Structure formats: structure tokens, C-alpha cells
Amino acid sequence: MLLFAKKAAAIMLLAVSSFSIQAQKKELTDDQYFKSDFKGIVKALPITGKWIDDSHVIIMRAAKSFVVDCKTGEEREASDVDIKATEAVKIIAYKKGTDIFVKLNGIETQLTSDTTKKLNPIVSPDDNYVAFTRNNDLYTINISTKKETRLTVDGSDVIMNGYASWVYTEEILGRASTYRTFWWSPDSKHLAFFRTDDSPVPVFTITDGSGGQHGYVEKERYPKVGDPNPQIKIGIVSPNGGDIIFADFNEKDDQYFGAPYWTPDGSALWVQWMNRGQDNLKLWSVNPSTGTKKELYDEKQKTWIQLEDGYERLHFLSTNKNFILESDKTGWNHLYLYDMAGKEINAITSGKFTVLNITQVDEKKGIVYFTARSRENTARIDFYCVGLNGKNLQRLTFGDYNNTNINLSPGGSYFITTYSNVATPSKMTLVSTKGKIIKDLGDSKDAAFDTYTLAKTDLLRVKSDDGLYDLPMKVTWPTNIDKNKKYPVLISIYGGPNAGTCWDAWSLNGTQQFYAKEGLIQVVMDHRASGHFGKEGVNYMYRNLGYWEMKDYSTMVKWLIANGSADSSKICITGFSYGGYMTCYALTYGSDVFTHGMAGGSVTDWNYYDTHYTERYLDTPAENPEGYKSSSVLTYVDKYKGMLQIAHGMIDDNVHIQNSVNLISKLQDAKKDFEFMEYSGGRHGWPGNKWLHYQNLKTQFIYKYLLEKPVNKMMLK
């Protein structure tokens, strides 16, 4: 349900009046609270498998597979023939130990037999080759002959062929790239790759005292704001070796490249180029035979343009005559149809809503299927279709729900959606794209659900101070809330640009329920630049990190104090990474509102973070010294009050521990009290018992400062 601030009194009245009803229900057991064993209350949904054809899909229930006939809704147990029909006949490549293997139809073939480290084996589209990197050089193996070909010869500690530098993986290509920077052409005739020269990038030294008698030392090429970036050349080479053709770019220019795209026929490599200031994106078509380039697209924005990091900008149509481009140039992310010469034909979507992902393009029918933040409620995802000509936009999902795991049939006639909201446990339904609900496939609400007392969760909207935005806030109330009492608040956030975490979606876990029983108000909230309000909202963060996030968070907290029985002396915020930054900022700059904080892996001053991410929003320190000063936690140490818990991994190679060390030093100089815990061997997060130790550390903090009673031992990991 979607509730606005003016309904606050009604919310509290409803919560109180529900007490007598809840009192008649059963309390959760220790196993349910502390092991999240909710058997009988909720159950698993079916697993959706692959489509056999446009009207038959395989789902799995209780380890058994069934075929659903979408036309009739009838089910039958799946046969081996059914299952085989969904399996693609494709060679896959993988590593075992240090060697590369391929597998087809269950038959495994070993291609290498040496001890050198090999990375990212990728099979060519024609299934004839495997490409991989070794010692920062690019290689191929012919699968049938097992002949190995070395394509580059200058790999070293600083020259990387087909392998990315740290900043490109973390901020541009995304962690899912696993540092790979080579791409097969569709016809398998060429490999495009990045040749990265990391030598201009300054070295950051990472140390840890637990690495033996002389400790542990790690050298990392890490460009902090204002530093030189890696230099990139884009090479194109045959899988059989020979001369390398380099695209016609000057690697000495201050620039960035996104992942390139091969055209469907393999005749050209399309390269995304961006200036250091990240406000100008160009798309170039590169001839693989000569390296010459031709400009296809040029976009400029007053703030910045998102280059990559999971953002798929181009979608080619199979005819090789058109492509779809994604852009947020209007302030909202939308789809545009272009011809292959770079001429815009028409906008496919438009308006004040955000397109998220293209699910499928039916070129024959001229229809694009896509997901988007709901036009009715930005905390929900809906499924839509629209004509390639931009006409006949239709919402295909139904009701007031958040939809995930959309599974569309090959011909676009049916889809399966998993949906929920804060008051409705997840369900799974088969739907026709003509609007008919065919069959309910599963409901996670089990038989005993209504017999137990569960904490109530609401999705609220609070008007921003300037009246421009209805800010979303998801609140789980204390189980038996009393409007005459005040309750401590625990706010979990991330807070980064276009990285909202507040969704109108069902969740249930033992920790959440036990804290509600203990009398804790649990909150997830998003600010105006979190993605709910498009790039239009995110643009507020330009040259000014921290300010608008804290302003909006403070507005929502003040609403909770005035209307939600929140105890103004116990307002705790917690987060990791950017969330850690926001937590530290809240206990300094925002300390008039926030009283407690638990910060992990935190940026404390943006001078200590990398070029691509930081300069996107703040520009360089030379260009925006005031922005760096105002966004720094260190600037406001004199305002610190309350209690802050600081935790950091000793060898964090993303947000270096120097961030926390500098904050700690400032707090010590100011004679401020705080808590600190470092984790030896910990990077940006730390595994095993150390992570459990960290969770226990936070639990103890919550009991000591918010609940003010001894920690329940069952809550410790």
C-alpha cells in the first residue's frame, strides 16, 4: 500500500487497533526468529525454467519439473524430451585448476596442460576457438586442433592486453566483467581488445600486519581524483594471429572508453568514447581492417553522462539496419530508434518515468518489451510494451505490485512475473501479453501465515522540504506499537547516486521480526537523487555530494519524530561503502538529527577515491575545491556528537582504509568518543567468521545504545 504523510494519524491508529487482533495470534518461535525458519508461514515459489516454445514453459516444484501449457493453463510432468528441447547445443569453456576445458553435450575436452594462470576463457561464436589471457597477453586455442596462438607479445605488470586495470573494472566495465577486455566479432573473424598501459597511474601501497614477521604489502595502480588514468589503445586482431590493427584514437588523450559493440554482421566495431569531464559521449564506428573511425553519435549534458557499469546503451536489430539507443538526456532514461548511420528516427519512449531494461524486441511485430520504474509508483517495477514507432505504450503487469524476474516467451505471447508489495508475500503468475491472467503458478504465503503475529511494514511518502518530491520510506513498526511511547530508530541506507534501495516489495526475516518485537523502528529510505525521480533528480548531486542526501534523509527522520513515535535521542543510521560515507556524514554534518551510526568501508573524503566515479559527480579537485570541501566528512568533525562505530578492512583495495584512518585521527585530535574495528585480511567486505564478528559488533551496538539492555545471546552469530 502507498501511504502519504497526511495519513500519519491513520497509520498509527491502525497499528494500535491491530494490537487486539495480533494478541490473539501466535508469537514466532526461537527457530523462526534466530534461524529464519518460516516453514508453514511462507514457502518457496516454483523455479521458472526455459521456454520450449512460445506457449510451453518448464517450471520446477519440489524438485520435479512440469510443462505448463500457456493456452490452457494445464500442467503435466516434464519428460526428458521436454527438458532437452530447452537445452542449447553450445560449447562452453571453463577453467579447472590452471587449465582450460570445453564441454559439449556432456563431453569434456582438455585444451591446455600447463601451470600458468589463464583467465576468462571465452568460446568464439562459431565454436571453433577459445580466447583467454595469460600474463597480460591475449591468446586463442583452436578447439579441434588444440593449436595455441599468442596474439600479443608485450604483456607486463603495466601493459595489459585483454585484461582491465582496476578503475576500468570497478567503475566502467563492472565487476561482472571479471577484468576481461576482449570481445569476439559475431562472425568470429576478429577479436577486439583493450591494450591498457597502467604505467602513468600512481601506485597506492596497501599493508596489513598479519602477513608474517614482515607484514603484508600490496602495490595497486589506483588513480585517485586528479591523477593520470590508464592509457587505452583499442586493437583488432584475427584469432589466427598476424598484424594488429589499432583504432584511430590517441591513447595519450585524457579520455575513457566504454565496452565496444560489434555490429551484427561484424563489419564494424562501435566504440564508446568519453572525455575526462564525463559530460560528452561520442559513438564511433571503427573499420576493423584499417582502424579508421567515423562519428555516429554525439551527446552532451550539463552535468554528466553515465558511461557503463552495467549500463547497456546499444541494442542492435538483427536486420543490421537499425539500433536502439538508451539515453537519459531528457532527465529520464528512455529508448530511441536510430538508423545505422547514426540518424535518429524517433523516440520509442518518453515522459517522466525511467526505463530500466529491454527484455525483448519483436522486430516482425515492431514491438519493444521493457521494464521500467512504474509510472504510478517509482518504488515498483512494471513490465511494458511499446511500438518501435513510439506508439501504443501498454502496461502489461497488473495491480499495485513490484514485479521481478519477468520471463517472456520467445514470441512475446506470454510472460511469467513474480510480484509482491510490502503487505503481500511474493506470488508468481502466468499472464498473456494481451492482458489475461492465465494461471497462478505459486504463492509464498503458506497455510499458517495468518495465525502468527508479524510486524507491520508500510511504504510511506514524505514531502521534501522544497515540496518538489514525495520521498519514499519503508518502515517496519514495532510489533505491538503504543502511540504513547517513543521508539529507537534504525535506518539502513546506501545513498549513492541512482542507487535507491527502497522498494515496495515483500520481505521477511528473523532479525527484522525480532528487532520489531524488541521495539525498534526499522527504516529504509531514499533521497531525491536515488533514481526514483530520474536523472532529473540525480542531477542534484552534481558538484555537491552529501548535501541533498542528508537534507532529504533529515526531512524523513523529522517526519518520523513528529508522526511515527520515533525517539529523537536514538536515531541510528547504518550503511557500507557509500552508505558508510552517508553514516559518517550524518554523525558530523547531520548530527543535529542523527545521534548514532554504524559505518563500514566508508569514504570519508572524496580526495581519497578514484577518478572515474568521483569526478563524474564532483569534477576534479582543481575544478571544484569547494565541492570537495563541503562533501568531506572531515570538514565537519567539530560538529560530531553522539556515537559512531567505524569498521574497515585492512586491505580494502576499493575504499582504502586511509579514509577511516583520517577520520579517526581527526576525531582523536578533537577528543571525540567513537568505536573502531579493523579487519585484517578484509577487503571491501570480509568473509567467514570475521564477517560474523562484524554482524555481532553491530548487534551489540544496537542493544547498548538503542535498546539499552543486555544483548539477547540468541541474536549473536
Q: What is the DSSP string of 587-606?
A: TTTTTTT--EEEEES----G
* % pLDDT > 90, the chain: 91
Number of C-beta neighbours around residue 249 at 10 A: 18
Which pLDDT score is estimated for 23? 52
Segment 309-351, tens digit of pLDDT:
667 899 999 999 999 999 999 999 999 999 999 999 999 999 9
Segment 104-113, tens digit of pLDDT:
888 999 999 9
Does residue 22 sit in the same domain as residue 77?
A: no
Lowest mean per-residue pLDDT among 78-92, 450-464, 544-558, 629-643: 78-92
Does residue 641 sit in the same domain as residue 705?
A: yes
Q: Map grid coordinates 519524530 to a residue.
A: 561
How far is the C-alpha of 541 from the C-alpha of 505, rounded, in Å? 27
Does residue 24 sit in the same domain as residue 69?
A: no
Any bridge partners for residue 423, and if so which?
A: none
Which pLDDT score is estimated for 360? 97
How far is the C-alpha of 488 from the C-alpha of 708, rounded, in Å? 10
Q: Give the burial class of 473: count Cβ atoms within 10 A of its Cβ; 0-12 exposed, 13-18 middle, 19 or more buried.
A: buried
How far is the C-alpha of 518 from the C-alpha of 596, rounded, in Å? 18
Does residue 56 sit in the same domain as residue 23?
A: no
Q: With a cut of 50, say whether residue 221 has pLDDT above it.
A: yes
Q: Does residue 224 fall inside a structural domain?
A: no
Does residue 522 sit in the same domain as residue 477?
A: yes
Q: What b-and-e string marks burial along 559-572, b requiring 16 or more CB atoms within 10 Å of the CB?
A: bbbebbbbbeebbb
Long-range (24+ apart) CB contacts under 8 A made by 92-98 are: 92/123, 93/121, 93/122, 93/123, 93/130, 93/132, 94/121, 95/121
Which pLDDT score is estimated for 106? 84
Q: Does residue 387 fall inside a structural domain?
A: no
59 contacts 52 by C-beta, under 8 angstroms: no
Mean pLDDT for the stretch of residues 15-26: 56
Range of the domain at 608: 2-37+453-715
Q: Grid coordinates in use for 8?
A: 500519519
DSSP labels for 14-77?
Answer: HHHHHHHHHTTSBPPPHHHHHH---TTTB-PPPEEEEEEETTEEEEEETTEEEEEETTT--EEE
Does residue 33 sit in the same domain as residue 51?
A: no
615 contacts 224 by C-beta, under 8 angstroms: no
State which of 85, 111, 144 marks the end of a domain.
85
What is this structure's pTM? Answer: 0.94
Q: Does residue 81 fall inside a structural domain?
A: yes
Question: Per this entry, what is the length of the chain?
Answer: 717
How far is the C-alpha of 312 from the C-alpha of 371, rounded, in Å? 14
CATH code, domain carrying 473? 3.40.50.1820
Mean pLDDT for the stretch of residues 560-564: 95
Which pLDDT score is estimated for 192? 98
Which pLDDT score is estimated for 9? 44
Residue 511 is classified by DSSP as H
Which pLDDT score is estimated for 230? 98
Mean pLDDT for the stretch of residues 402-417: 96
404 contacts 392 by C-beta, under 8 angstroms: no
Q: Grid coordinates in use for 704?
A: 547498548
Q: With a cut of 90, say whether residue 182 has pLDDT above it.
A: yes
270 contacts 284 by C-beta, under 8 angstroms: yes
Q: With a cut of 80, say whether residue 2 has pLDDT above it.
A: no
Q: With a cut of 70, say whether residue 12 has pLDDT above it.
A: no
Does residue 32 sit in the same domain as residue 51?
A: no
The candidate with the shortest Cα–Cα distance to 181, out of 251, 120, 99, is 120
* % pLDDT > 70, the chain: 97
Of 9 and 275, the one with more pLDDT: 275
Does residue 33 sit in the same domain as residue 52?
A: no
Using left for φ > 0, alpha for ψ between -120 and 50, and beta otherwise, residue 351 falls in: left
pLDDT band at 4 (very low <50, low <70, confident <90, very high): very low
Q: Grid coordinates in use for 433?
A: 501479453
Q: Does residue 297 fall inside a structural domain?
A: no
pLDDT band at 86 (very low <50, low <70, confident <90, very high): confident
Segment 445-457, tens digit of pLDDT:
999 999 999 999 9
Does residue 73 sit in the same domain as residue 30?
A: no
Does residue 16 sit in the same domain as residue 77?
A: no
Q: With a cut of 60, say whether residue 8 has pLDDT above it.
A: no
Segment 628-674, tens digit of pLDDT:
999 999 999 999 999 999 999 999 999 999 999 999 999 999 999 99
Which pLDDT score is estimated for 516? 97
Q: With a cut of 60, say whether residue 13 has pLDDT above it.
A: no
pLDDT band at 254 (very low <50, low <70, confident <90, very high): very high
Which pLDDT score is estimated for 309? 64
Mean pLDDT for the stretch of residues 396-416: 96
Which pLDDT score is estimated for 25? 87
Dihedral of alpha carbons 428, 432, 437, 441, sign = negative
Edge-first strand order for the sheet with 367-373 is 355-362, 367-373, 381-387, 394-395
How far is the C-alpha of 695 from the C-alpha of 713, rounded, in Å? 13
Mean pLDDT for the stretch of residues 578-605: 98
Mean pLDDT for the stretch of residues 508-525: 96
**Domain count of the chain?**
2
Does residue 688 sit in the same domain as residue 637?
A: yes
Q: Does residue 420 fall inside a structural domain?
A: no
Segment 301-313, tens digit of pLDDT:
999 999 976 678 9
Which pLDDT score is estimated for 81? 87
Which pLDDT score is estimated for 21? 46
Angle between helical axes of 578-586 and 547-563 (0-180°, round to 10): 60
Q: Does residue 697 fall inside a structural domain?
A: yes
Q: To the nearest 10°, the Cα dihedral for 448, 449, 450, 455? A: 140
Q: With a cut of 50, say whether residue 5 has pLDDT above it.
A: no
279 contacts 304 by C-beta, under 8 angstroms: yes
Mean pLDDT for the stretch of residues 152-170: 97
How far is the C-alpha of 248 from the C-alpha of 75, rounded, in Å? 57
Does residue 566 sit in the same domain as residue 604?
A: yes
Write down the mean pLDDT value for the chain. 94
Q: With a cut of 50, say whether residue 11 has pLDDT above it.
A: no
The type of residue at 177 is S
| SS3 (DSSP) at 276 | coil
Mean pLDDT for the stretch of residues 178-205: 98
Q: Map grid coordinates 552495467 to a residue.
A: 310
Which pLDDT score is estimated for 16? 45
Q: Does residue 62 fall inside a structural domain?
A: yes
Radius of gyration of the chain from Cα atoms?
Answer: 27
How far is the C-alpha of 110 from the C-alpha of 130, rounded, in Å? 12
Any bridge partners for residue 184, and if so which?
A: 191
Angstrom CA distances, 623 to 243, 448, 603, stand at 42, 61, 20
Which pLDDT score is estimated for 310? 66
Q: Does residue 178 fall inside a structural domain?
A: no
What residues contact 91, with CB distance under 8 A and at least 6 apart?
Answer: 102, 103, 104, 123, 127, 143
